Amino acid sequence: MKAPLPSLAAILALAAAAALGAEPGPRLVPAGDSRFEYRGRLDTRDPSGPVLIWEDSAVAVDFGGNHLELDLGPAEGDNFLDVRVDDGTWVAQVPASRASRFTCPLPLAAGRHHLEIHKRNEASAGTLQFRGIWIGDKEAAFRPVGARPALRLEFYGDSITAGACDEDGTEDQWETRRTHNAELGYASVVGRTFRADWRNQSVSGIGIVTGWTNVVAKQTWDRLYPKADSPAADLGLWTPDVVLVNLGDNDADYPKAHKLPFPDGFGARYTDYILGIRRAYPRAEIVMLLGGMDSGVHSAPLNAEWSGAVARLEAADPRMHHLLFNHWTYTHPRVPDHAALAAELTAWLKVQPFMKPFTDDAR
């Protein structure tokens, strides 16, 4: 005689018992959790996760346990992340896709860990959405320990300030952005030196009048993305104490490469650009930089136009300042060159009266 088949209720009871005895899986800490700290001009229109756009945008959080996965949403272009857990770092290449998850390859012991995610590449190379992290089911996330930065720095520039090619060898290469690491560029070095909250909105090839891009600086500086048709950024959400602008190299380099004269109207267009920043940030100190590469340092027309515009702006506004870099290179600056540029800028900033409230925090 055959044994009777188990009832549906018995099957459900067995399944529930098995589930109770199963190992719990990881759980998601969503990107909107208040324990995450973000840096950078982000696209937050999708509540499920911010889009990391600009170079050296960053995410930080503390978490417990020995399990960590990154949960990423749509990614476009060529994206690389420096993912740092405590003292270990790995470089994650994020493919262009609708979504992806990365398991941390670093060994993790039990206990509390500090996670930082830095976007290496500039916005014009690629963007990606951050959706959160997966940690052990019984583990917790924590807000990172430490005081919030007092100083806010905002950088605008071209490939020099973006950190393009800074980890390349003797030749610049653009086939992959893996060796373009904004975190080691002079802007980020200066930001870390002053323990600041900084942002970097720089675009390789961009100029004031002309350059190697299909947009100029005035079309992108106040946008979410480096496109003329991008939605405008809400500049009221984050206000810098100091804005630093390093533009002009491509206005000299592009026409030189095409045997064209230096563009007419550079001084007037540069002035208009700087005054647009002033209108957006009426109380910020504005530092006008020039240099870092041969094309800017050794262009007589650029130096004449830039110097004239700077003199007029400074005469009319005591919160306008300038610095011409001494260090320069024929190729894009490499990591040691960025260290030299950062040292120049740091030394200059430390003796400026407007930096006095912040210099006690500088190393």
Averages of pLDDT over each 10 residues, the chain, 363 residues: 49 47 78 96 94 98 97 96 96 94 94 97 97 97 90 98 97 95 98 97 98 97 98 97 98 97 97 98 98 93 98 98 97 98 98 90 47
Do 215 and 169 have their domain in common? Answer: yes
Kindly state whether residue 126 falls inside one of the protein's structural domains.
yes
Q: What is the DSSP letter of 99?
A: -
According to DSSP, the β-strands at 152-157 and 242-246 are parallel
The label of the residue with tokens 């999708």 reads: 46
- Asked whether the whole model's pTM tops 0.75, one would answer yes
Domain that holds residue 183: 152-359
The confidence score (pLDDT) of residue 59 equals 98
The answer to whether residue 101 is domain-embedded is yes
53 belongs to a structural domain: yes
Q: Are residues 47 and 164 in the same domain?
A: no
Q: Are residues 327 and 191 in the same domain?
A: yes
What rounded mean pLDDT belongs to the chain?
A: 93
pLDDT at 5: 52
Domain identity same for 179 and 133: no
Closest to 353 in 3D by CA, of 288, 275, 285 = 285
Mark whether 198 and 125 lie in a shared domain: no
- List the CATH number of the domain containing 318: 3.40.50.1110
Check whether residue 258 and residue 167 sit in a common domain.
yes
DSSP letter assigned to residue 175: S
In a domain, 10, yes or no: no
Residues 53 and 157 placed together within one structural domain of the fold: no
Compute the distance between CA of residue 77 and CA of residue 98 in angstroms, rounded to an integer: 12
Whether residues 220 and 351 share a domain: the answer is yes
Q: Which two tokens stand for residue 7?
A: 């009832």
Strand extents, DSSP E, the chain: 27-30, 37-39, 51-52, 58-64, 68-77, 79-85, 88-94, 100-103, 112-119, 126-135, 141-142, 152-157, 197-202, 242-246, 285-290, 320-324
Report the number of distinct structural domains present in the chain. Answer: 2
Q: Are residues 74 and 163 in the same domain?
A: no
Task: Return all residues near 223 (Cβ < 8 A) that are at least 6 apart.
Answer: 230, 231, 232, 233
Cα–Cα distance between 221 and 156 in angstroms, integer? 7
Residues 173 and 245 in one domain: yes
